[in-house]
Amino acid sequence: MAASDDADSYRDVTEVALARQPWDQERAQRVREYLQHRTEEQYGAWIEDLAAHGLDDDVPNGDEVIFPDGYDRLPARLAAGLDIRLEHIVTHLDWSVDGVTVTTGRGSFTADDAVVAVPVGVLHSGDLVIDPPLPDPVGSALGRLEMNAFEKVVLRFPTAFWDKDVYAIRQQGAQGAWWHSWYDLTAVDGTPSLLTFAAGPAAVQTRGWTEDRVVASVLAQLRRLYGDRVPQPTHAHVTSWQDDPFARGAYAYMPVGSRLADHDDLATPIAGVLHLAGEATWGDDPATVTAALCSGHRAAANILGRSIPISALWAES
């Protein structure tokens, strides 16, 4: 892995590693399949499209936690007392060393500095025009990153048909090409619930399907495993981040040809007035809420020209 270069995919380097193992074909194939699904579920990308270093941040520190009332708790608390204008869709951002002018559907705003924290997919789309265009290293780093294809499917059931205390249900082999992992979310509020993902190729191919068709496809797979014990869900939720014009995917990933440094290069201050933030700009742990939060904190420190203890954010808000 360390010896790989920018042209290598995650598939290339994992095949090199697999070839060095003393395993029989069956075991090697199971590990190969695991790595493929890992790529899909972590980055919503096909293993041959992900850069060799695209999963380097795959080991989270600390506990896995769920915010039962949603992540909105974090920005709501941090925004308390601030002048936040919702539903102002930014179409243009003009900048120079003198400051920025932002044009929205509800008027224009000028400022000494701006922090732009829209997803990479929005910056790629042209819906938000930045003028003059982003200079290097920001512009070239942006050109190398891509938005992924990653959707969630949550099914709630009248009764649980799977074993208790199971973290994940897995389908291995060819049948698991799309729907291969289900996570038990029952602990969130007591309702028997399973979460699965349409990730990478599955998300691309099911894009545009109706919710009923997605649910029927997932249920068919569950019934292969559990038979008639699988009841009709009482509720289903299927995301469509790929088609959300304010997201254009779930989060960014590193395609072949990109570099680890691209993440932090995106956050290079521009002319002392323009600062990019958001999950894709934080190289230490991109694609996470932590990255989004820490990148905004870094942008604020760059604007103020001094460090801000992160603990102060919570104390003051």
Ligand X SMILES: Cc1cc2nc3c(=O)[nH]c(=O)nc-3n(C[C@H](O)[C@H](O)[C@H](O)COP(=O)(O)OP(=O)(O)OC[C@H]3O[C@@H](n4cnc5c(N)ncnc54)[C@H](O)[C@@H]3O)c2cc1C
Pull the structure tokens for residue 184: 């038990």
Judge contact between 149 and 161, C-beta under 8 A. no
Q: Rounded CA gap, 51 and 6, in Å?
A: 7
CB of 98 to ligand X, least distance (A): 23
DSSP 168: E
- Which window, 49-57, 93-101, 221-229, 241-249, contacts ligand X (CB under 6 A)? 241-249
The residue within the footprint of ligand X, chosen from 13, 47, 90, 147 (CB under 6 A), is 90
Contact between 218 and ligand X (CB under 6 A)? Answer: no
CA-based max dimension of the chain: 67
Q: Which of residues 148-207 bind ligand X (CB under 6 A)?
A: 150, 152
Contact between 287 and ligand X (CB under 6 A)? Answer: yes
Residue (13 or 149) nearer to ligand X, CB: 149
- Which window, 111-119, 136-144, 208-216, 256-264, contacts ligand X (CB under 6 A)? 111-119
Residue (267 or 292) nearer to ligand X, CB: 292
CB of 90 to ligand X, least distance (A): 4
Specify the amino acid at residue 40.
Answer: E
Sign for the pseudo-dihedral over CA of 41, 216, 174, 182: positive
Helix (H/G/I), strand (E/B), else coil: 211: helix
Pull the structure tokens for residue 84: 């936040």
Residue (214 or 287) nearer to ligand X, CB: 287
Q: How distant is the alpha carbon of residue 231 from its chain centre?
A: 31
Residue (270 or 292) nearer to ligand X, CB: 292
Q: Rounded CA gap, 32 and 48, in Å?
A: 12
Give how many residues touch ligand X by CB under 6 A: 23
Q: How many CA atoms lie within 13 A of 181 on its CB side?
A: 16
Pair type for strands 90-96 and 129-131: parallel
Contact between 118 and ligand X (CB under 6 A)? Answer: yes
Contact between 122 and ligand X (CB under 6 A)? Answer: yes
Residue (95 or 241) nearer to ligand X, CB: 241
Q: Which residues bind ligand X (CB under 6 A)?
A: 89-90, 117-119, 122, 127-128, 150, 152, 241, 246-247, 250-251, 278-279, 287-292
